[in-house]
Structure 1
Amino acid sequence: MAKRRIRIGIGGWTYPPWRGTFYPPKLAQSKELEFAASRFGAIEINATFYGRQSPKSWAAWAAAVPDGFQFAIKGSRFCVTRPRLADAGEGIGNFLAQGLNALGPKLGPILWMLAARRKFDRDDIAAFLELLPRELDGIPLRHVIEPRHDSFRDDRFFDLCRARDVAIVFGDDDEFPCIEADTATFAYARLQRMREEVPTGYDKASLDAFARRARRWQKAGRDVYMFMINGAKIRAPAAALALQERLR
């Protein structure tokens, strides 16, 4: 089996406070994605949660990043905020039909983020997972789900995800529970407790611990995606670079 890969990344690439801190001062805004993708192995796209993107945008994003890079895509809110997830089939189909197949092998995991109020309902979650296709126009699809209610800390949920090779987000978060379970051939972490007073967002001990965790997941035969997302977002690139340096 080929060695599993660890990809470290950030959430998005358009953030004005990064200009002059992460991005060179005179870098054209149109070159920011290209610059960020040259530094990291993945970027999580948040805009797809709120609305459709044009086919032109998907093609441009694919052209701007190097081979081996991947985008993680946040699934549409119209799929995950309905009363019954089992009714999301049409929405999932529309979401996947918007043009993201233009990414080809640069298409990474699709993240389905559940509402904080949603409690675990075994039958509804099972039906939702069955709606998630395994491929799109010949491109293998990976799905990851982020439950934000403690009722999902349930072996029945883990078994459902394991049967479909769906990862569960490892979330370092002050507000929502961290549910760690090995359910897929890949691991997906969203690290959200950066502090602005720490130049690297997280302190040395935390970064060392995340690096050890990533190596442990990789050694267990899982690809790894780790994103610096929220908290003091201005520190996200520095945090991701510091973590990446530990993993070289």
Structure 2
Amino acid sequence: MIRVGTAGWTLPRTEQEHFPATGTHLQRYAGRFSAAEINSSFYRPHRPSTYARWAESVPDGFLFSIKLPKTITHGQRLRDADALLDGFLAEAGGLGDRLGCLLVQLPPSLEFDGAVAEPFFSALRARSSFAVACEPRHPAWFGDEAADLLARFQVARVAADPARVPAAAEPGGWPDLVYYRLHGSPRIYYSAYEPPYLDALAARLRVEAAAGRQVWCIFDNTASGAAAADALGLAARLESLQQQVSHGGHGEHGGTAEGVSIPPP
């Protein structure tokens, strides 16, 4: 399955007609999408009962990705974070089997240091078998040493837009998980994506999924409400490609994922 969703589950007024008419915002959102990213966990803790309520609001098969707290990534900067990890994972456990992925977003100033990264991801892996995606933002994280370390701990490197360095636009680390985070460009958090970009993205995600990888695509351009429209547009394109394949058409590109070009927005 290719999981498409947004950061949070806000339903902009302009897109309301595309969602079920009744229920909470999360229930209506989950009527159209298969995943959502919880970003509020980055800023503040939530009770396990809050996570449990969210889990009860979504149908079978729906999964949440949840962002690690900034106290771990930005405060401790991955050092001496065992107690904080324990607290966070105990809270997030309220999601039960709806917890699908942990997201580790690093500050732009945090350089790669294997002596720091290795014990952190080792501690995380000792506590959790969930899928993990890491979004580093310092150029030092895009070399072979960092990629090898992430792969060893089964941590995917996020493919991000806008990309701070060219390699940041491509998935990396553990290859069995592909996680796109699209923040909007040229104006980050605001800009919508153009149809040609969504066309190429849909084709790329199909190739990744056909290779047997877990695939997530989260739109984070939420400030102007563009995320919901972009996610709906991508989901429609993926459905169209699937229908073409089901009817004997050629709904996906041949070759490897690397051969599918996603043009800049």
Report the TM range for the smaller structure's normalisation.
0.7 to 0.9
* 1:133-167 deviations in Å (ceiling 9; x for gaps): 3665xxx4111111001111111111111111111
**Gapped runs of 5+ residues in structure 1?**
none
Contact 2:101–2:133, Cα closer than 8 Å, also in 1: yes
Q: Which runs of 5+ in 2 are unaligned?
A: 240-265
Q: What's the % identity of the aligned pairs?
A: 35
1:186 aligns with 2:186: no
Q: CA deviation at 1:241?
A: 0.7
SS of 1:143's partner is: strand
Corresponding residue number in structure 2 for 1:147: 136
**Structure 1 residue 14 displacement after superposition:** 3.6
Q: Which runs of 4+ in 1 moved over 4 A?
A: 24-28, 174-177
Q: Which residue of 1 aligns with 2:256?
A: none
Answer yes or no: is the 8 Å Cα contact 1:195–1:232 preserved in 2: no
Give the superposed CA RMSD: 2.5
Provide the aligned length of Structure 1 versus Structure 2.
233
**TM-score, scaled to structure 1:** 0.85
In structure 2, the partner of 1:126 is 118
1:233: Cα distance to partner? Answer: 3.8
- 1:8 correspondence with 2:4: yes
Q: Counterpart of 2:148 in structure 1: which amino acid?
A: D
Contact 1:144/1:166 (<8 A) preserved: yes
What amino acid does structure 1 have at the position aligned with 2:114?
A: R
What is the aligned partner in structure 2 of residue 167 from structure 1?
156
3-state SS of the aligned residue for 2:227? helix
Deviations 1:91-130 (A, max 9, x none): 11111112x2232221011101111111111211111111
Counterpart contact for 2:74–2:106, Cα < 8 Å:
yes
Structure 1 contact 118–149 (Cα < 8 Å) conserved? yes
Q: Does the residue aligned with 1:187 lie in a helix, a strand or coil?
A: strand
Cα distance in structure 2, aligned partners of 1:134 and 1:120: 21
Contact 1:23 1:32 in 2 (8 A): no
Cα distance, 1:191 vs structure 2? 0.8
State the SS of the aligned residue for 1:188.
Answer: strand
- Pick aligned residue for 2:109 from 111, 117, 127: 117
| 2:79 counterpart SS class | helix
Q: 1:194 to 1:38 in 2, by over 3 A?
A: farther
Give the secondary structure class of the aligned counterpart of 2:30. helix
Tell me the CA shift for residue 86 of structure 1.
Answer: 3.1
State whether residues 167 and 187 of structure 1, in contact with CA within 8 Å, keep that contact through their aligned partners in structure 2. Answer: yes
Distance 1:58 1:121, change over 3 A: same
SS of the aligned residue for 1:236 comes to helix
Q: Partners of 2:164 and 2:148 in 1: how far apart?
A: 25
Q: Give the partner amino acid of 2:95.
A: L
Task: Note the alpha carbon deviations across 1:163-200, whole angstroms, 9 max, x for none.
Answer: 1111111001165662522524211100112579xxx9
Greater relative contact order (Cα 8 A, min sep 6): structure 1 or 2? Answer: 1
Residue 26 of structure 1: how far off its partner (Å): 11
Q: Normalized against structure 2, the TM-score is what?
A: 0.80
Shift in alpha-carbon separation, 1:187–1:233, aligned structure 2, 3 A: farther
Number of the residue aligned with 1:22? 15
Q: Is contact 1:186–1:223 with CA below 8 Å preserved after alignment?
A: yes
